[in-house]
């Protein structure tokens, strides 16, 4: 009994000492647990671009190719997300037969989805929930129709936003820094922050909505006819770059359609010929088809397709379909697109060179 009691006492003393050492050691060591309770949520505000290319595997369009380019405009207030994205769709016939709506083996359409959501977590890679709340499409013969609205789960890591639907990856988006075919050398430029602010204050209205009060209300202004935008500057590397756009706009009531031709001419400044053209200059011409609407003095324009008028080996192929929001003021239309802006002006009328 004494031996057993001594063993219990010794074990008790050792246990107490061990516990004391453990407590002392924990008290003197910094915790390795990182709290994220008060951390700032990841930044998702801005413009994000993505593209999906797939072959349709079922239905009447089986074998056709579907190309979808997306441009997401997101604003963020704390953990709340609002915004929209434009989806530019192109369908290419798999067997070369033309579509009924376009009478060609391909057609394009533009859709817009309004979204909202939340962002959670303070570390990079924090969780994101985004849901589509409304869909709208531009009018036209080639309408791919409506689909069910998606609910996305995603993560943001740096300039990459990955979205998942029903456990399967749906889209990978990349933060846009304004480096598209036009660059940032327009007549007037808008900073990314200002562009995001403009989106939050006056997002593109739904095409099916009725007239709104204020600047966008009232009878639609007349924007039909010819409009011109020109700019001269320097391309990266110092060569001269001349840009000209001629907008041909048709208007029926509040609805718009038409096209604009974009001509880009670049001239060598050091006297060395371009390898792609074997000349001191080259020129690229592209035609963009457009449609949209007018509400009062407010103009909404969507590009729905493009065609290369003059193929050129110097063409870098960097194009994307844009959406515009603008205001008519006298003989000018001020447009905002992506992270840039430009002013369209009516051309001067021909002036006689002599008096009769």
**What's the pLDDT tens digit per position in 2-61?**
333 443 334 443 443 344 444 444 444 444 444 445 566 778 888 898 888 888 877 777
Whether the CB-CB separation of 299 and 215 falls below 8 Å is answered with no
- How far apart are the C-alpha atoms of 115 and 324, rounded to whole Å? 19
- How far apart are the C-alpha atoms of 322 and 336, rounded to whole Å? 10
- How far apart are the C-alpha atoms of 276 and 13, rounded to whole Å? 88
User: Of all helices (H) and strands (E), which one includes residue 207?
Assistant: none
Least reliable range by pLDDT among 16-20, 144-148, 155-159, 241-245: 16-20
The CB-based long-range contact list for 25-34 (8 Å cut-off, 24+ gap) reads none
Q: 31 vs 120, which has greater pLDDT?
A: 120
Q: Which of 98-107, 171-180, 277-286 has the highest mean pLDDT?
A: 277-286
Among candidate residues 164, 148, 167, the one with its CA nearest the CA of residue 156: 164
Domain boundaries, the chain: 46-175, 188-233+246-263+284-345
Fold of 188-233+246-263+284-345: Lipocalin (2.40.128)
Decide if pLDDT at 74 tops 80. yes
pLDDT tens digits along 251-276: 999 999 999 999 999 999 888 888 88
Instruction: Report the SS3 class of residue 109.
Output: strand
- How far apart are the C-alpha atoms of 146 and 111, rounded to whole Å? 9
pLDDT tens digits along 270-290: 888 888 888 899 999 999 999
Whether the CB-CB separation of 318 and 308 falls below 8 Å is answered with no
Whether the CB-CB separation of 171 and 154 falls below 8 Å is answered with no
Q: Which of 134-148, 151-165, 305-319, 338-352 has the highest mean pLDDT?
A: 151-165
DSSP state of 315: -
pLDDT tens digits along 299-334: 999 888 888 887 788 887 777 788 888 899 889 999
Calculate the average pLDDT of the chain. Answer: 75
Percent of the chain with pLDDT over 70: 71
Least reliable range by pLDDT among 7-16, 35-44, 131-140, 176-185: 7-16
Task: Give the position of tokens 């430029």.
Answer: 189
Whether the CB-CB separation of 117 and 137 falls below 8 Å is answered with no
């Amino acid at each position: 009994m004494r031996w057993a009691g001594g063993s219990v006492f010794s074990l008790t003393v050792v246990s107490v000492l061990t516990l004391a050492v453990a407590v002392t050691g924990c008290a003197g060591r910094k915790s390795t647990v990182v709290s994220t309770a008060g951390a700032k949520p990841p930044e998702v505000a801005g413009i994000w671009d993505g593209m999906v290319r797939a072959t349709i595997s079922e239905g009447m369009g089986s074998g056709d190719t579907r190309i979808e380019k997306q441009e997401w405009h997101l604003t963020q207030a704390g953990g709340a997300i609002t915004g929209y994205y434009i989806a530019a769709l192109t369908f290419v016939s798999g067997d070369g037969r033309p579509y009924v709506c376009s009478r060609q083996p391909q057609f394009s359409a533009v859709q817009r989805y309004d979204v909202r959501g939340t962002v959670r977590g303070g570390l990079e890679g924090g969780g994101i929930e985004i849901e589509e709340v409304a869909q709208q499409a531009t009018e036209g013969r080639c309408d791919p129709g409506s689909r069910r609205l998606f609910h996305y789960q995603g993560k943001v890591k740096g300039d990459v936003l990955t979205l998942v639907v029903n456990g399967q990856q749906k889209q990978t988006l990349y933060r846009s820094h304004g480096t598209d075919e036009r660059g940032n050398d327009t007549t007037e430029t808008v900073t990314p922050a200002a562009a995001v602010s403009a989106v939050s204050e006056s997002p593109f209205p739904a095409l099916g909505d009725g007239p709104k009060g204020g600047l966008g209300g009232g009878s639609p202004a007349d924007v039909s006819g010819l409009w011109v935008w020109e700019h001269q500057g320097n391309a990266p590397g110092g060569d001269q770059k001349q840009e000209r756009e001629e907008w041909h706009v048709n208007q029926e009531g509040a609805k718009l359609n038409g096209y604009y031709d974009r001509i880009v001419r670049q001239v060598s400044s050091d006297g060395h010929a371009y390898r792609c053209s074997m000349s001191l200059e080259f020129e690229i011409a592209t035609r963009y088809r457009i449609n949209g609407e007018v509400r009062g003095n407010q103009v909404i324009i969507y590009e729905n397709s493009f065609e290369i008028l003059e193929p050129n080996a110097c063409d870098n192929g960097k194009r994307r379909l844009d959406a515009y929001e603008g205001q008519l003021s006298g003989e000018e239309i001020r447009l905002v697109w992506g992270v840039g802006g430009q002013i369209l002006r009516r051309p001067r009328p021909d002036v006689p060179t002599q008096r009769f």
